[in-house]
Amino acid sequence: MTKRERNWLLLLPGGAWFLIMLVLPLTVVFIFSFGERGDAGGYVPAFTLEQYANLPARLTAFENTMILAPIGTLISMLIAYPLAYQLAVNTSRKWKTVLLVLVIVPFWTSILIRSYAWIYILGGQGIPNLLEMLGIEGVRLIYTPFAVLIGIIYGYLPLMVFPIYVSLDRLDKRLLEASSDLGAKPFATFMQVTLPLSVPGIATGCMLVFILLMGEFLIPALLGGGKVFFVGNALVDLFLQSRNWAYGSAVAVTLIVIMLVTVTVYMRLISRLNTQRDDVSIM
Amino acid sequence: MNVSPAPAGLSSDRFREETAPVAELRAVTKRFGDVTAAKNLNLTIDRGEFLSFLGPSGCGKTTALRMLAGFEQPTEGDVLIDGGIVNDSPPFCRPVNMVFQSYALFPHLTVEQNISYGLKQRRPRMDRSEISRRVARALDTVRLAGFENRKTFEMSGGQQQRVALARAIVNEPKLLLLDEPLAALDRKLRKEMQIELQDLQRQLGITFVLVTHDQEEALSLSDRICVMRAGEVVQMGTPRDLYDDPKTKYVADFVGTSNFFEGTVLSVKEDMAQVELADGSRFEGRASDSFRETETVCLSIRPEQIRLTGKAEDGAIEVVVQNRIFLGEHTEYLVRHSSLGNIIVLAPRQAELAGTAFNQGDRAWLNLSREAMLVLRQD
Ligand SMILES: Nc1ncnc2c1ncn2[C@@H]1O[C@H](COP(=O)(O)OP(=O)(O)O)[C@@H](O)[C@H]1O
Ligand SMILES: [Mg+2]
């Protein structure tokens, strides 16, 4: 066997998986999106742009997704960074492992069950009930965009913490000493050394969380109570309930295109930030 | 402290700064838990000198340096810079810069940005034009002009070393600390950089404090060397002092090469001591310290101070040549004495040219002159 043949062989399982599980369904969805709905639902072959013309009917779902996903990502990042920083920089070896495990603990139960807990906390018997006892009446939390945002941040925080933690933990502590030696006060060192060198971790975390959020449907369904719809919910609805496969496919294709464009632009920005930083004294 | 009054026209601070040694360690002890990394260090660093801390790995050299830089605080004692106690002042407040062992260059910055880093931290802010002027000069000094926009990780070890140097000297520190700066370089490059370091120090007039475990490096570069052992200073002096007048066997062994013979003191007369070796033979040597009779001591003689001859002279001892290594200007002989064991002798090339060359297995005689023999504390 030549080296070339061996390389192909090694690529085979992954390649086959990629082809069957990703390319094939995507192609099918793409083709379906130009079709029509059958009388009993499903798909009837056709070539029409009607489904795409109908997209505005689901505009709210797109709006919710495009607003809440970036906001959720941003807030997760703002919460995760100090957490990851404390873990990586100010925690002793012994405690690091314990605290890191605590960050993953939520993953030991399903997001479904955890979201139910939030339904209770945000629902009538939870926080609003407490507020009422304090004399603040009529606060409604559950089934609002705010509830969805809480759920999103809660669910995806660990995914944000880890990449940032790794980038901060790997940071050579002598660079911080060098910065201090050269006259930078602690905050200046953070801005000029720590933060720039943790950009890759931030970028990875944001990308991961953002992509997953764009496809999220469980949290909006449970905590949004059918009022705060994401594109993911629209897809569940179109494919499983109204069985309008053609229209569902059009929505799916649109979502994929939006994601591709955002991610590409985002990657461009990040790589530019990493290579072209001509003056780092941000302050 | 009793300071004489400042002359008219000089504020007392200015006066203190200009007359005090650049830095001083007073009874400094540093403990990390159970480990005592530095024990009662007392030393002054003079303005403009090139001082080295020399000692084996783990003897506390880096710790001493880090206390001068401000990365570690002494457990006991005081660190002074320009006559003022700075025990608790953080690194960013000290007029001191360090060249780290692994360089610690900022990987996200270009060469120019690395070098200008220190100047950009100054408050009030320094003019951009002034910064670029100084950076350009520093780059020139380390012969890296034209490398401004390189990323540091694209550079060779020697070039990174120079960036690290430039990044420190551009700030014109009162004290430049170098922690084994050349250890990572290969031998040839190390030699080159040693010469450059020395030139740089003379040219800039900045006080250099170098940490090294390489005695050759310390000997060739320093004005003064501070030999350390297990957290303590064992001897301090010029390279010549340490080489010619080591106070202990440890220093004689660490600084240069020497032959040692163990014995006991028979008698002491002025600065000469009679020593009896285990085999009963007696030698006289210069006493490096005051010794008591019957004290166990060490006789030391440098290989180049022994004369190897082909015939028995008065007082010479007979040996057999075991090995001969040609070193160019010198020939190194390993000879064996029946009771003293192996002895290293360095013979100059002239001796060989004059016909006194020996081969393996030859009989020869060693002249151990009393002036060249040193009686040292055994420690
Ligand atoms: N931060 C630290 N924590 C604990 N022990 C340390 C620390 N720094 C140095 N030491 C110990 O102090 C001793 C001297 O170390 P160091 O100053 O690095 O020696 P050198 O630079 O001469 O090799 C060593 O035994 C080392 O293990
Ligand atoms: Mg060291």
Is residue A280 scored above 70 in pLDDT? Answer: no
Complete domains list, chain B, with CATH: 12-244 (3.40.50.300), 257-376 (2.40.50.140)
Is residue B20 scored above 80 in pLDDT? Answer: yes
Nearest protein Cα to ligand 1, atom 6:
B32
Nearest CA distance, A145 vs chain B (angstrom): 39
- The answer to whether B208 and B131 are in contact (CB under 8 A) is no
Mean pLDDT, residues B25-45 taken together: 96
A276 found inside a domain: no
> How is residue B312 written in tokens?
């028995």
A85 found inside a domain: yes
User: Tokens 């061996």 — which residue?
Assistant: A6
A54 found inside a domain: no
**Ligand 1 contact, B213 CB (< 6 A):** no
- Mean of pLDDT over chain B: 91
CA of B72 to the centre of ligand 2 (A): 14
Indicate which CATH number applies to the domain containing A155: 1.10.3720.10
Whole-structure pTM over 0.90, yes or no? no
The pLDDT of residue B7 is 53
To 5 degrees, how large is the angle CA B43–CA B47–CA B53?
Answer: 40
A112 found inside a domain: yes
CA of B212 to the centre of ligand 1 (A): 14
A32 found inside a domain: no
Which pLDDT band holds residue A152 (cuts at 50, 70, 90)?
A: very high
Is residue B6 scored above 90 in pLDDT? Answer: no
| Of residues B99 and B270, more confidently modeled | B99
Q: What number of other Cβ atoms are within 10 A of residue A195's Cβ?
A: 16
Element (H, E) at B136: helix B128-141
Nearest protein Cα to ligand 1, atom 8:
B63
The conformation of residue A229, written as its DSSP 8-state character, comes to -
| Of residues B36 and A226, more confidently modeled | B36
Domain count, chain A: 1
Nearest protein Cα to ligand 1, atom 12:
B37
**Ligand 1 contact, B201 CB (< 6 A):** no
Is residue B5 scored above 70 in pLDDT? Answer: no
Domain membership of residue A188 as a residue range: 64-228
> How is residue A159 written in tokens?
């995914």
The pLDDT of residue B10 is 52
Nearest Cβ partner of B92 from A175, A180, A192? A180
Mean pLDDT, residues A138-156 taken together: 92
**Ligand 1 contact, B212 CB (< 6 A):** no
Atom of ligand 1 nearest to the CA of B53: 22
Strand order across the beta sheet in which B96-99 lies: B96-99, B175-179, B207-212, B50-54, B224-229, B232-237
Question: Which residues in chain B have their CB less than 8 angstroms from residue A197's CB?
Answer: 107-108
Rounded to 10°, the helix A59-89/A245-275 angle is: 40
Question: Which residues in chain B have their CB less than 8 angstroms from residue A181's CB?
Answer: 69-71, 91-92, 96-98
- Answer yes or no: do A181 and B117 touch at CB < 8 A: no
The pLDDT of residue B233 is 95
Nearest CA distance, A196 vs chain B (angstrom): 7
Q: Which of A82, A207, A63 is nearest to A148 (CA)?
A: A63
Interface test with A, best of B113, B126, B160, B172 (most A CBs within 10 A): B113
Cα separation, B232 vs B37, in Å, equals 9
- The answer to whether B283 and B368 are in contact (CB under 8 A) is yes
A105 found inside a domain: yes
A248 found inside a domain: no
pLDDT tens figures, A44-101: 899 999 999 999 999 999 999 999 999 999 999 999 999 999 999 999 988 999 999 9
User: Tokens 């998986």 — which residue?
Assistant: A17
pLDDT tens figures, B191-249: 888 998 999 999 999 999 999 999 999 999 999 999 999 999 999 999 999 999 999 99
Mean pLDDT, residues A259-281 taken together: 74
- Answer yes or no: do B98 and A181 touch at CB < 8 A: yes
> How is residue A124 written in tokens?
């009538």
Lowest pLDDT segment from B26-30, B39-43, B58-62, B186-190: B186-190
> What radius of gyration, in Å, describes the C-alpha atoms of chain A?
23
Is residue A276 scored above 60 in pLDDT? Answer: no
A266 found inside a domain: no
- Answer yes or no: do A197 and B90 touch at CB < 8 A: no
